[in-house]
A = this chain, B = another copy of it.
Amino acid sequence: MSSDPPGFELPLRLLLGFRMLIDDLHAELARRGHPDVRPMHGFVMQAIGVEGTTAVELGRRLGISKQAAGKTVGTLEQLGYVERACDPGDARRKIVRLTPYGLESLALSARVFDELRARWAGTLGPERMRAFETDLRALTEGETFRLDVPGWFGA
């Protein structure tokens, strides 16, 4: 009588939910002045943070090589979201920092994500929304985020 759903539905819907949020976010970002930012860029800028960082450290945070991190930073630089500056204290290092435009996109993303969460809470009700997030947090406890999606998903 329990009739549990098949196990393969779970990963499918987790991915579906993720994609749904990210797609909605970027539709809204495009509408509000950031049409060129891609899903990956958001994660990278989040990893760069307000403080700024280096390519090596960025790669470490995202679980990719420093070369891949450097390439992505180059793209973001062309789009005007980040800038590279030499470290006065260490001539080897170059600090990657968010530009005002980049900071704005990050702040906007945070606002839109909150709106999207509110919409989801409207579907489930605040009670179950809270429970849903608590459970999801419990299930993914201790996991670290990795950005190596392309190579990981299909080798």
Contacts and interface: CB of A to CB of B under 8 A. Distances in A.
A9 B139 contact: no
A18 B8 contact: no
Oligomer: number of copies: 2
Interface size class of A (residues with CB under 8 A): 35 or more
A8 B109 contact: yes
A116 B7 CA distance: 7
Contacts of A91: none
Dominant secondary structure at the A interface: helix
Contacts of A41: 154
A138 B124 contact: yes
A46 interface: yes
A135 B139 contact: no
Nearest to A23: B152
B132 A136 contact: yes
Interface string A14-25: 111111111001
A131 B4 CA distance: 11
A72 to B, nearest CB: 8
A18 B153 CA distance: 11
